[in-house]
Amino acid sequence: LTSDNIMIQQSNLAQNYGIDAFCFSFYWFEGKFLLDKPIKNFANNDKINTKFCLCWANENWTRSWDGLDHDILIEQKYTKSNALEFIKSIKIYLDNKKYLTFNGRPVLLVYRPSSIPDIKSYVKVWRNFCKNNNISDPYLVSTSSFISKNPNDYNFDAEVEFPPNNS
C-alpha cells in the first residue's frame, strides 16, 4: 500500500476488470489520521487515474478489530469542534480531481454513523463547510456494518452493505 509501482499496477488491474474506484478506510481521532499514507500516495500519484473515496472508520482503535471496545488504544471522541475539524482535514481529498463523485457530489462513507451522538449536527456542519468552500454537497453513505438503519435517519443519502458485519 505504500509502493507507487504496486498502486499503479493495482489501479490498472482494477480498471481491466471494470472497477472504477477504490474506497480507502482510515481512522481520524481529533485531528490525527491513522492509515492515511496509502491515501496520500494514491491521491498524489499522477500516474494513477482511478477514482477513490474515503470511509471514515469512526470507532475506537483497539487491539482486536472486532468492533467491540475491549482494550482501547485510542478512543474515538465526538465533540462539536470535531465535526468541523474532520471535514476540514479531508478537504484536500474532496478537492482532488480523482475523488469519486455521485451526480457531481463527493462520496463520503461513515462506517458507524450510529456511534456519533448527534450525527445530524455533524452532517449540518459538513454540508455547510462544503457549501462555504466551493465543494459540492457531499453524498453521505452509511455502512450496514453491525446495524442497518435508514440513512435518512442520519440525514445521509444512502447506505451500502459492508461485509462481513452485515446485520
pLDDT at position 18 over 90:
yes
Q: What are phi and psi of 159, to 5 degrees?
A: -130, 150
Q: How far apart are CA 43 and CA 165, in angstroms?
A: 28
Q: How far apart are CA 92 and CA 86, in angstroms?
A: 11
pLDDT at position 152 over 70:
yes
Write out pLDDT tens, residues 112-132. 899 999 999 999 999 999 999
pLDDT at position 100 over 80:
yes
SS3 of 39, please?
Answer: helix
| β-pairing verdict for 72-74 and 61-62 | antiparallel
Candidate from 1-5, 20-24, 82-86 with smallest mean pLDDT: 1-5
For residue 149, what pLDDT is reported? 78
For residue 30, what pLDDT is reported? 87
| β-pairing verdict for 105-110 and 51-56 | parallel
SS3 of 29, please?
Answer: strand
Q: How far apart are CA 50 and CA 42, in angstroms?
A: 9
For residue 137, what pLDDT is reported? 97
Q: What are phi and psi of 34, to 5 degrees?
A: -130, 145
Percentage of the chain exceeding pLDDT 70: 91
Candidates 153, 98, 86; CA nearest to 122 is 86
pLDDT at position 66 over 80:
no
In the chain the beta strands, taken as DSSP E runs, fall at 21-29, 32-34, 51-56, 61-62, 72-74, 101-102, 105-110, 139-143, 158-160
For residue 2, what pLDDT is reported? 78
Q: Find the DSSP H helices in 29-118.
A: 37-44, 80-94
- Written as one letter, the residue type at 95 is D
pLDDT tier for residue 56 given thresholds of 50, 70 and 90: very high
Mean of the per-residue pLDDT values of the chain: 89
For residue 121, what pLDDT is reported? 96
Q: How far apart are CA 151 and CA 119, in angstroms?
A: 11
pLDDT at position 70 over 70:
no
Give me the mean pLDDT over the 25-49 stretch.
91
For residue 94, what pLDDT is reported? 97
- The distance of Cα 7 from the centroid of its chain, to the nearest Å, equals 19
